[in-house]
Amino acid sequence: MPEHGAPGRLRQILSYGRKVYGLDRLLGGMRDGRKKPRVPTDLVVRILLLLGLLRIRSFNALDPRLAEVGMQRALGLSCGERKASSVDTLAYSLHRAEVGTFRSAVVSMVKQAERNKVFREGWHGAMRVAALDGWEPHSSRSRCCPACLTRKVTVNQVEVTEYYHRYVIALLVDDGVEVVLDMEPILSADVRQELGAKGVTGHEGEQTAAKRLVRRLKETYGGWVDVVVADALFGNGPFLTTAAQSGFGTVVVLKKETDEPLREALALWQGKPPNQVVEDEKRGERVELWDCPGIETLSSYDGPVRVVRAVVHKAGKKEPSTWCFAVTGKATRLTAFQVMKVGRGRWHLENTGFNQWTQHWRLGHVFTHGPRALQALFWLFFLAFNLLQLFAYRQLGGYGRDRGKDATKTLRRLVDEMMGDLERFDLPFAWNSS
Ligand SMILES: [Zn+2]
């Protein structure tokens, strides 16, 4: 097939996705419940994947583009006379999405990356780490669907109800490449009732969704993920127990000095010098580490908990910052310094994930509102996000090493290049052909 000039970025990334990850097959497995649709589902999801890859900010912005020649060719269409689809059709399909089939595409891509040895031996101490945290892409004052969660907020001294959706996300964190592993919604009272729960008195808590996610991480990825790292909200016995039962080690932030096992560790450390001091020249930090294995004072967890405290002195900063972590299971094989690094790794979920998704991927924008639609679209966006991460890491030299503080810069450039390429797309992209 003749190419005018060097292959453009969008064509290159789509080809990479097809060749390495079977993108046709992944999109082809996505299903919705429409009967005899005029626009086939594989075209709908192809459009939505491009919506994600190109970070088009809304359905309104997408709409005129669906009539453009470049866009149609990127979708593999040759006509160019009519719109590829209306945005209403996209929304209609999303509201009937079989969400599990959308999730499967993301899982398949991650598993293929694992088989291709993308993630190598793991981050610290040869362990693979998944960061877990709650994510709330949007909230509003009007209820839109039965899956909306609610809370009371005070605005100008008046109490009003706020509606929102919240998910627990698992991101593989690493020095090189970071991909979304899984997502679990926090279920509203209505959805719980619909699912047959008895005696429902309210929405479920973030802990409940997180525990479900931890169990599913194990079912989905087996023993390939070693350690779960999470925020202080998860520094409790029931969460640590679920993680242990699923075979995960944990590194979880501890904040409350009056709660076990931190209370006991602090008492034991009282007036004692650090066990170890590490000079981290690369980061310009001196780290004092206190390390206490085998604390058994957390009554809701059946087993020893190691507690690590890191006091980080940064050059040029007067006040040090202090971090405490509970460490269980195989994560106890990490050195205290590695525990701190893994513990700080959960920030990647905020920087690589949440902040970037809201700022640059506009995932906070509600394209269309509904329990299935929101989840299906997020899964497609995560597929686009993971594909870009994997492409950048494997195909662009030095991405992992040099992305420095702003992990999002390279991806933003890629998106600009893809957008530019869209106008130069001169032949229909060969979707669904070998
Ligand atoms: Zn809703």
Distance 141 CA to ligand 1 centre (A): 11
- Amino acid occupying residue 433: S
Q: What is the pLDDT of residue 6?
A: 41
What is the pTM (predicted TM-score) of this model? 0.93
Q: How far apart are CA 375 and CA 102, in angstroms?
A: 9
Question: By C-alpha distance, which of 229, 190, 230 is closest to 206?
Answer: 230
Using pLDDT thresholds of 50, 70 and 90, give the confidence band for residue 332: very high
The dihedral sign for the CA sequence 197, 201, 203, 204: negative
Distance 70 CA to ligand 1 centre (A): 34
pLDDT tens string 8-40: 899 999 999 999 999 999 999 999 999 999 999
Distance 118 CA to ligand 1 centre (A): 36
CB distance 59 to 90 below 8 Å: yes
Mean pLDDT across 287-306: 95
Distance 10 CA to ligand 1 centre (A): 33
Neighbours of 106 (CB within 10 A): 25
Distance 44 CA to ligand 1 centre (A): 22
CB distance 383 to 171 below 8 Å: no
Q: How far apart are CA 277 and CA 287, in angstroms?
A: 6
Average pLDDT, the chain: 90
CA angle 70, 76, 79 (to 5 degrees): 70
In this predicted structure, the answer to whether residue 400 has a pLDDT above a threshold of 60 is no
Mean pLDDT across 243-258: 96
In this predicted structure, the answer to whether residue 209 has a pLDDT above a threshold of 90 is yes
Distance 148 CA to ligand 1 centre (A): 4
In this predicted structure, the answer to whether residue 377 has a pLDDT above a threshold of 60 is yes
